[in-house]
Amino acid sequence: MRPLHLPSTTLPRLAEFAVLLACFCAAVLLRLGALSDYPSLLPKALATTLVIQVCLSYADLYEGFSYRSRLDDALRVVQSLGIALILLSLAYWAFPSLRVGRGVVFIQFALTLPAVVAWRWVRLYAATSAALRVPVLILGTGAPAQQVAREIFSRPSLGFRVVGFLGEDAGQVRRQIVDSSVIGTLDDLSAMTARHSVSVIVVALDDARGRMPIAELLRHRLAGVRVLDATTLIENLTGRIMLRELRPSWLIFSGGFDRRSLYQSTKRFLELVLALAFFAVNLPVSLTVALLVKLTSPGPVLLAQERVGERGRRFLVYKFRTMRADAEAASGPVWAARDGDPRATWLGRFLRKIRLDELPQLINVIKGDMSLVGPRPERPHFVEVLRTTIPFYDERHSVKPGITGWAQVKFGYGSNLEDAEEKLQYDLYYIKHVSWTFDIGIVLYTAKVILTGRGAR
């Protein structure tokens, strides 16, 4: 269990699901006068509500909502409801047992639009109101402390407020850091916690050994104040594990990194079944792509590249060719550019954008070299460079690489060492929290990335 239960999109999603469900039930009541008179009420209500919420999710209405205007938010809701109405019409045609009367649908959507917009505006006010935000005190003034502050300030929708920093000497007091200031020293911990009614204390000292006020932190913790280290807070806020200040002891003693026997024993079997099914379903698409690659540029249709997989084992990964056949003849291995790679063909850029170039990797999953979900496998040339410059880089090889992964849906393609380091932070987070629910979530998120055309950021 995580030491701090930070606000996320889970509770807002559940709350909005309840709002949508209430709108459906209210529509039935207004139309028929009683819920008991409506046949198959529960499955119809759940199916309709789920379709609407999926459309809201695909419009990014659960991410970064505090940065948008109220008008933009309302327009996104209208757009989502329009798409939901089309999808529901198709669903009612395909599954007549779920069909809802036109009168109920009309009333439901008439109620849903103002209800969802109003709910979201209330949530926006609650998240951005200074009086309702959780006060956070940061111990430290160095790079870890500043990163914590930046992550909090960049996510106002999470409802946190930095009251200030506590430095290690009096000379730092009143110094401006990020968008806050140093309000005291470590000796002022109790006074500042009481003065600002602090609910969360973050320990972000550059070197905490011998200087951490253990006794005071313990007293505040027993009094109900949340106390946690910077690495854990960054992990919970961002879905990644920061590397530069990471100590091996944190990896050893923190939760996660479980390899449950049931997960391990069923993963390979289920992925094999799914890979075979996906391969069969996508065979017409794959043949079409292969033909287009062949017709639009000279060279082989498939590209087989050596990659580094689980436990450092090398294997050949298969992709549809997206670059000129002689793209690396003179330069050797180079990073793929994130935007406008000059080596890519026009078709290749399109295939990368919607991830269709990855379809042949289903063969790698069938062979057992890869999983559907996991860190993306890297080329040996880059692995040798990265393992000497980025701490903990080899830990990503503790699991099988995947066709898609947490780093891919959260970050996209990497084009330099800095990108590789940030992607590793997401890979380590995945390895720590690996589970079937996480895998399913990544697959659904990948579908969203493909459908919205954000596959090659």
Q: Give the list of residues 6+ apart from residue 344 with CB closer than 8 angstroms, or none.
A: 322, 323, 352
How much is the pLDDT for 7?
A: 43
C-alpha span between 110 and 120 (Å, rounded):
17
Residues 223 and 100 grouped into a single domain: no
Residue 385 lies in a domain: yes
The partner residues of 315 in beta bridges, in order of sequence, read 307
In this structure, the answer to whether residues 407 and 286 fall within a common structural domain is: yes
The alpha carbon dihedral of 165, 168, 173, 175 has a sign of negative
Q: Please count the residues of the chain.
A: 457
Residues 198 and 80 in one domain: no
pLDDT digits (tens, 9 = 90+) for 182-224: 999 999 999 999 999 999 999 998 865 557 889 999 999 999 9
Looking at the fold, whether 192 and 272 belong to one and the same domain comes out as: no
Same-domain check for residues 36 and 106:
yes
Mark the ranges of the chain whose per-residue pLDDT is less than 50: 1-7, 66-67, 455-457
Quick one: which H or E segment has residue 317? strand 314-320
Same domain, 124 and 143: no
Q: Does 250 map to a domain? A: no
CA 318 to chain centre: 26
> So what's the pLDDT on residue 405?
92
d(CA 417, CA 421): 6
**Cα angle 264, 266, 269; round to 5:** 120
Q: Is residue 171 part of a domain?
A: yes
Helix axis angle, 346-353 to 283-296, nearest 10° = 150
Considering the domain boundaries, does residue 311 fall inside one?
yes
Q: Which two tokens stand for residue 114?
A: 């103002």
318 close to 275: Cβ distance less than 8 angstroms = no
Give the CA dihedral 234, 240, 246, 250, nearest 10 degrees.
90
Q: What is the pLDDT of residue 2?
A: 40
Structural domain ending residue among the three candidates 70, 98, 128: 128
Range of the structural domain that residue 116 is part of: 10-128
> Are 123 and 142 part of one and the same domain?
no
pLDDT given for residue 344 in this prediction: 83
Residue bearing tokens 């939760």:
255
Dihedral sign for Cα atoms in the order 209, 213, 215, 220: negative
256 part of a folded domain: no
Same domain for 265 and 303? yes
Residue 139 lies in a domain: yes
Tell me whether residue 243 is in a domain. Answer: no
What pLDDT is attached to residue 334? 67
DSSP secondary structure letter of residue 454: -
Are 179 and 112 members of one domain? no
Is the same domain home to 202 and 344? Answer: no
| Per-residue pLDDT at 265 | 77
Q: How far apart are CA 352 and CA 359, in angstroms?
A: 11
Q: C-alpha distances in angstroms, 289 versus 95, 282, 292, 339?
A: 33, 10, 5, 22
Identify whether 252 is part of a domain: no
Task: Return the structure tokens found at 120.
Answer: 């979201």
Contact 308, 379 (CB under 8 A): yes
Do 355 and 455 form a contact (C-beta atoms < 8 A)?
A: yes
- CA nearest to 359, candidates 291, 289, 455, 255: 289
275 and 390 in a single domain? The answer is yes
Domain count, the chain: 3
- Under 8 Å between Cβ of 196 and 177: no
CATH number, residue 199: 3.40.50.720
Q: Are residues 100 and 123 in the same domain?
A: yes
Query: What are the structure tokens assigned to 19, written together?
Result: 């709002």
Question: What whole-number distance in Å separates Cα of residue 383 and Cα of residue 369?
Answer: 17
